[in-house]
Each structure stands twice: as C-alpha cells, then as structure tokens.
Structure 1
Amino acid sequence: MFILSAALSLSASASGADPAAPPAPGDPMQPGQVGEVTTIPPVEKVAPGRYRLGAVEIDKRGGTLTFPAEVNMDKGLLEYLLVHSKGKTHESLLRTKVEPYTLQLACLLLGLEGTSAPLAAQGAPERPTGEEVEIFLSSEERKSQPSEEWMINLVNGAKKPVPPMTWIFTGSMVVNGRFAAEADGSMVAVYHDPVAIIDNASKGGETDKMWYVKEGAVPPPGTPVTVVIRKVNGAYRQESSGGDVPGFGARVEERGERR
C-alpha cells in the first residue's frame, strides 16, 4: 500500500505541462501511481495563486480547496461526511461528482502531506495521522458553517452537539494496483477508514454508532452544497497526546497548543 504522490507542480501545470497520467494498459503499477481512473483533468491557472483542477478550485495563498457537492442524507446514521456519487451513499451526509483521485491530487498540490502509517482497517481504534484540515459547508440558503454543525452525536441515547472536529488528510493509497478511494468512492470519513482521503481524528472516530445527521440543520437531499477544505497552519507532529492513544499527532499553532 502506498500513499499517492503528485508527479507535477502547479507551476509546471500552469505553464502547459501535462499532469501525471495513469500507466498504459499492461504497464506495472509503480508506487504513487493510480489505476482505473477515467480522466485526470489538467491544472489551469485562473489567477495569481489560484488554480482549477476539474471542478476543484485551489487557492494556494488562502490554503483552501473549494468544490461542489450536494446533500445526500438529511437524517440517519453516518459513516462518511462525503463520498463520490457512485460510492457508499447509504451512509454519507454528502455526495459529489468530483473524482476521488482529483480531490487527492488537489490536496497534494495545496501542500498537504498524508500519513506514512495508514490505519490497518476500518474502525481501527488508533487515531489517524497526517496533516490537519478544516471543512466548511454552505448552501444558497445557509452561510458557511463548520461541517460538525450539520451533525450530531448520540451518546447513551442522548443527543449531544458535535464538538469542533479534527479532520486529517491521510491520503488514500494504491492497493493491488488500484487507487483505493477511486474504487470505493470514499472521500471524507466520519468513522475511521484508511481508504478515505480525509479521516476523522476526533474522539469517537473509531465507532460507527454515534454519528448522525443533525435533522433540521441540513437542507433537503439534492440541495447543492459548496465544500471548502482549509489547510490548518501550524506543525502537526507525531507524538503521544498524553491520552490513551500513543502516537496521536498534536497540532501546534501560533495561537497555542491544541491536542
């Protein structure tokens, strides 16, 4: 299993260089390559520091990715915040037509670094490591809000607000010659999933019993949504959190330390 690495730079792409392409049929897969992807869109420069990769807008200066999605569920139990439209839509808050490979490549072009130690399986008790991001959601009638505002926790039968979440760009991987997120459509996981591109490092990410849609706070299914992924400034170092999960990466920001 290998974390997918980008083979192009924004400057090269903006000047007209072709982006990395999947291997030709019959070619052996190499670390960092991706198989069975239909089309890899070119990177277009739209303004100083701003680029477009398919439907994903990359703002290098602002440290954000912006792309379209739509509401998939307005009630029920969740395992994902976001999946591809052909993915696990029975358990995801949102769905998008953006290809998983395109989102992963956009994250890498933004400068995000994934994990070198992916979780062993879905629901693994360890917290995922990588680089922290924030996720914001908005619709035509709802201003931009942190993603957790659209969810609720159910703990011992009681509904509780979701505290500020820790989202981690872990990056998906190539398994048996296939880019795993492309095969499964898993993009942003609420319930730990090593196949997903972004995982949940918040408390409770190891369980699939407590994450629910916040009914009444989410627009009806099919409502267009804008997703913004923002790179969090500050180092994300691999060390013990001082809690019960050794090796959890703590983020250190200019405004202080958060664990």
Structure 2
Amino acid sequence: MTRRIATVVLLGIAGCATPGRPSGTVVEPFEGVTVQPSGGVVEVEAFVCLDGGWLEQVACSPDTREHEALVVIEARPSNLHAALLMAGFEPGSPGQWSYDDGAVAVTPPTGDIVEILVRYQKDGRSVQEPIGAWIVGAEDNRPFPERAWVFAGSLLAENPRWMGPGEHYVADLTGSIIGLVTFGDEVIGFERVMADQEAVQATQWQVRTGYVPPIGTPVTVILRARSPEP
C-alpha cells in the first residue's frame, strides 16, 4: 500500500522536477509549498485557527477540524505528501487502534521521523520554534515531547459512489494533515497512538493558551529531517 501511494503521488508531480537543478535549490511544486530537496526541508504556508481548548490535530485542511487544530494548511494533503517525497522522506502507515472487552489495542504509526517547527512574526521579529511549544498537557501543563512525529502517509481508498470510479487519497477528503489523536488517515502522525474517542481515552493535550499567536496569524510550518543526536 505504501509503495502504491508513493507511485500515485509521484506521478502527480513528475512534471515538477527539473533535471540538473543545483543541489541547494528551493522549488515550489505547489502553491504555498516549497521544498529544498537536498536539505530534506518542506515549508508550508498556514494560519492560526485556535488559541485555546483541547487539541486533536496540529494542522487540518480548511472547513474540516479547525475547532480542534492549531493551524489550517490550504495546500492539499496529497500535495504535501508529494513534497515530502521530493524532500527525501519515506512514508509508512498511519497508526490504528481498536477497543474490545475493555482494552485498547494499538498499532503505532510508521514512517520517517519528521521535525515540525513553526515560523511567524512576533513583536516585529521573526520567531522560529518547535510546534510543541504551542502544546501542553491537558491536566498538568506538561511540556510536549520532542521528535514526536512520523510521516505516516495517510491512505488510498476506493472512491465513494459520488466520486465515480477509482481511488482517492483519504486525507484529501477528511483534512487530516498533522494528527495528535489517531484518526488513522493523517499525513503526519503523533508517534504514540491515542484514541480519537473521549469515551475510550481522555484528551491529553491542549493549546498553550496565552502563548499561541492570535487566530488568523500567518505562519510557516517547517517539516525537516531529524537532526543528528547531540
């Protein structure tokens, strides 16, 4: 499945690559998305959509989960997947969970580790920091863990009848771009599976209220390869 998704997405960007590009070149394969292939970096335009409350996602598509996500990314999730492939990331598969006889069984997500940072303007200067700085524990305000993300790569699924024959990239319909809880269709997922139903598992993370920029603030989400261990 992972190989098939990569093939489908790469076919969609075949015209974006230009042979003989200088190694340090930054390209813009899609509107609002830039890629530095040699550096393993993808940058995506976004804006803040939440400044308080529980979190189930970090980033979503417009008109989907803005009530439980930090930022909105207007680029299509499948285009973001393609950009990550261009930057050298290998996708895996989203996490999954099931509940049976009072126990939760989990399958962790797989894929290359992705570091996620955010850049924005604050008091007239540029600030760049890990997206985890915007997230705290729901009960104890504990800091968010570092290196917590993997390129899961969403899923391909058979089209619903209204779409006609064929398959679709699931996150393009659901808007799941960067997930905290495990919906099972996110492009980038939290490394630890968390059920997306409150009755099964209580919400664990919330917005760092008073720290996150105001709603509507433009930001750049930076996705980059894992830094070497110190």
Q: TM-score range by the shorter chain?
A: 0.7 to 0.9
Instruction: For residue 191 of structure 1, give the secondary structure of its aligned residue in structure 2.
Output: coil
What per-residue deviation string (whole Å, max 9, x for no partner) do you get for residues 19-57 of structure 1?
734xxxxxxxxxxxxxxxxxx795266864322111211
Query: Partner amino acid for 1:185?
Result: G
Q: Structure 1 residues 75, 200: closer, same or farther in 2, change over 3 A?
A: same
**Conserved? CA contact 2:179–2:190, under 8 Å:** yes
Report the Cα offset of residue 118 of structure 1: 4.1
The two structures, once aligned, show a CA RMSD in angstroms of: 2.7
Q: Does 1:198 align with 2:188?
A: yes
Residue 121 of structure 1 deviates from its aligned partner by 4.7
User: CA separation of 1:149/1:84 partners in 2, compared to 1, >3 Å: closer, same or farther?
Assistant: same
Please list, as runs of the form range in 1=range in 2, the aligned pairs for 1:181-220 lying within 5 A after superposition. Answer: 181-202=171-192, 205-206=194-195, 207=201, 209-220=203-214
Q: Gaps spanning 5+ residues in structure 2: where?
A: 99-103, 159-166, 196-200
Structure 1 equivalent of residue 65 of structure 2? 88
Alpha-carbon deviations, 1:203-226, whole Å to 9, x = none? x74555111000111011110001
2:167 paired with 1:166: no
Question: TM-score, normalization: structure 2?
Answer: 0.78
Alignment-mate amino acid for residue 230 of structure 1: R
Q: Which residue of 1 aligns with 2:217?
A: 223
Secondary structure in 2 aligned to 1:125? strand
State the TM-score, normalizing by the size of structure 1. 0.70
Q: What is the CA–CA distance in structure 2 between the aligned matches of 1:199 and 1:78, rounded to whole Å?
A: 13
Give the direction of change, closer, same or farther, for the CA distance of 1:174–1:131 in structure 2 (3 Å limit).
same
What CA deviation, in whole Å up to 9, does each residue of 1:164-194 have, x standing for no partner?
1410001011111221000101100011232
Structure 2 counterpart of 1:101, one-letter code: S
Could you list the per-position Cα deviations for residues 133-169 of structure 1 after superposition, in whole angstroms to 9, with x for gaps in the alignment? 1000121115100010011012xx3221223141000
After TM superposition, the structure 1 stretch with the greater mean CA deviation from structure 2, 97-106 or 46-55, is: 46-55
1:52 aligns with 2:28: yes
Q: Is the 8 A contact 1:181 1:196 kept in 2?
A: yes
CA gap of 1:143–1:208, structure 2 versus 1, over 3 A, is farther
Residue aligning to 1:136:
117
Aligned residues of 2:114 and 2:225 also touching (Cα < 8 A) = yes
Question: In the superposition, relative to structure 1, how do residues 217 and 119 fare at CA in structure 2: closer, same or farther (>3 Å)?
Answer: same
Contact 2:96 2:108 in 1 (8 A): no
Structure 1: 4+ residue segments shifted above 6 A: none
CA–CA distance in structure 1, aligned partners of residues 87 and 56 of structure 2? 26
C-alpha separation in 2, matches of 1:174 and 1:124? 23
Return the letter of the residue paired with 1:180: V
The alignment of Structure 1 onto Structure 2 pairs a total of residues equal to 204
1:20 corresponds to: 11
Give the aligned partner of residue 101 of structure 2. none
Q: Distance in 2 between matches of 1:134 and 1:167?
A: 7
The alpha-carbon deviation at position 127 of structure 1 amounts to: 2.3
Please identify which structure carries the higher helix content.
Answer: 2
Matched letter for residue 182 of structure 2: H
Q: What is the aligned partner in structure 2 of residue 104 from structure 1?
A: 81
Does the Cα contact within 8 Å between 1:82 and 1:93 map onto a contact in 2? yes
Equivalent residue, structure 2, for 1:178? 168
Correspondence list, 1:62-81, <5 A: 62-81=39-58
Superposed CA offset, 1:76-125 (max 9, x none): 1011000111322121111011111110111111111111x543358963
Structure-2 change in CA distance of 1:124 and 1:85 (3 Å): farther
CA distance in 1 between counterparts of 2:205 and 2:140 reads 12
